[in-house]
Amino acid sequence: MLGRILGERYELEEKIGSGGMAIVYKAKCHLLRRHVAVKILRPELVEDENFVTRFKRESLAAASLSHPNIVNIYDVGEENGIYYIVMEYIRGKTLKEYIKEKRKLEWEEAVRIALQICSALKHAHKNGIVHRDIKPQNILVSEDGTIKVADFGIARAVSSATVTVAGANVMGSVHYFSPEQARGGYVDAKSDLYSLGIVLYEMVTGSVPFEGDTAISVALKHIQEQAKPPCELNPDIPRSLNDVIEKSTEKEQSKRYQTAGEMLKDLQRVLREPEGSFVIRNIDSDLPTQVLEPVKTDGNPNAKPVGKKRSVWLKLVLFILPMVLLFMLISYLGKQIYNNHFVSEDVEVPQLIGLYEDEATRILHERNLTLSVLERKHSEEDEGRIIYQDPAEGIKIKPYSIVKVIVSLGPETVAVPNVIGFTQREAEIAIENAGLKLGQPEYIDSDLPKGTVVRQSIEPDTEVVDGTEIVLVISKGPKIELVEVGEYIGLREDIARQLIENENLSVGKVTREYNDEYNEGLVFKQNPNYADTVEKGTKVDLWVSLGPMPMYPKILEIQLPDYQEHEDEEQSGEDIMVRVTVKKADNNQSVYDRMHSVAEGVVNVELKDRGVIKYNIYIDDVLVNEITVDFIKKEGAS
């Protein structure tokens, strides 16, 4: 899959993780020029409709959430049977890796991490989504320390009770199972809080509470066994944190925290009151039987206490009881005065993300809180809107505390490049390199060459938001007009030329040749032919007659060989005869064939023909010469 581009924009660069359902890749978004994480459903699961359905459900569930401690979902798609989700790419490591590096975390750091996870779960539960797979492997620690909950791979939107059918595949990692998940029973938001309690247990102790050789054995321990208190493994854990962990990991759902908001409040108090006893535990009302001391009667079962002793005790009670009541009254009044005049209640941080800076300042001022801008940076949000806050929404803090925010500068602007006159491909590359988006191109007739940019939807050098769509108008070339070719054969050349121009055509190559059928100056051939349909302005080639080809007879002088010097005495005085033959070279046709005496010296042969002809001359069937005769010229043969 590496190097593949999905959705025509996401180029897969590196495999960064995998799970039971999907493989995660680091990818480059060529449109927005940023890195993203792309989760792809495993190929072997694509044919399974149940897995595909669950994968689609994850997309919808996760895309509905927007929270600073939840990984953002950017896009969802399917291409040639490949189902994928495009998510925010977090630079950092998983909480599991972080715990392994440190072996165990300081309890304050663990609580702060748990606060962010709990805030994310509160948001998800508020939107009717149960994560069902909270574990350190699904929690990311970014480079700036922000916690991000990821992989809602088995989250499902719940509008009523969610029940896992017994015998179905159990999801998630068994070490962080809630007992009801292990049993295949009722699963709700409290199941996520149990898993968070196990994660918190591991952060402060360095180990999970239940281990086993098989997944089944670990699941059974979640159902049957009580975990060892974390304070026994790490004595540095304060009492309140130990209580929070034990309450969140109760076997019975009714004894745990009922909402993420409840757990969030107790975690906040842990930081303020480490040794406090504020965590309310559900303790059974059936108290064990107690052994009471017997009443002494000095051996007489009917004996009664001595009156003197009774009076002493009565006086003592009458003296102490008013003192105790007076002390309780003074304590109560003192506490009320202190609380009313010296103690201020914690303030819940409101939702600021999405608000404009001045509006957020006003809302915080009404709650006796102060706004502090950490930085201003470009984003897809409008300028002045808040895109990040710390602490997160719902967390309670002291009055007059500072809430830190990041304010958007609005989308980053870029200058539109001038691509008029570029080829379509050159223009598209220039637009994409500028960080702009290409719209659907338009095509028009134009005098510019085909494929050339005629104009663009936004003027060059205009400052626009990064990612703005640019529509290119592309030339289809000059508009094609078709005309029918007339008949010019048999016409004089000047008339044919005039007709060609009148019919929006042009005269092409003119060839002049001899022709026995047409008189000199008349057209005897044309291309294109009569009635052909051609583009306007097409060139028409003409062939003009020079009249019949002229024929000028030629006298061919053939020099006979001289045999007189070599004749013997017996042949003296007698003529030696030779055979003279003239043939056409192209077809070997004989045009002259006679016997001659060598005494003649020269033989004159008259030749009549047309054009330029090549002849072969033979003496006694021996080729003695090759000549070319031009019958068009008036001069003699060569």
> Which CA distances in Å does 569 have to 265, 395, 561, 562, 566?
150, 146, 19, 16, 10
CB 556 within 8 Å of CB 586: no
CB 58 within 8 Å of CB 152: yes
> Which CA distances in Å does 233 have to 30, 222, 236, 271, 428?
50, 18, 9, 20, 63
Give, as one character, the DSSP assignment of residue 517: S
Q: How many helices (H) and strands (E) does the chain have?
A: 13, 36
CB 532 within 8 Å of CB 505: no
**What's the gap between Cα 462 and its chain centre?**
28
CB 428 within 8 Å of CB 438: yes
Cα distance between residue 396 and residue 113, in whole Å: 16
- For 231-242, b where at least 16 C-beta lie within 10 A, e where not — what string? beebeebbebbb
> Which CA distances in Å does 369 have to 68, 268, 546?
20, 17, 107
- Bridge partners of 482, per DSSP, are 535
CA neighbor of 580 nearest in space, from 614, 624, 630: 624
CA neighbor of 105 nearest in space, from 15, 294, 237: 237
Determine whether 133 is an active site residue. Answer: yes
CB 27 within 8 Å of CB 463: no
Asked, as a colleague might, if the bond just before 43 is cis with ω within 30 of 0, I would say: no
User: For residue 174, what are its two tokens?
Assistant: 């068994």
Among the listed residues 48, 133, 236, 466, the single catalytic one is 133
**SS3 (DSSP) at 292:** coil
Cα distance between residue 613 and residue 152, in whole Å: 94
Cα distance between residue 463 and residue 311, in whole Å: 99
**SS3 (DSSP) at 49:** helix
Q: Which residues are catalytic?
A: 133
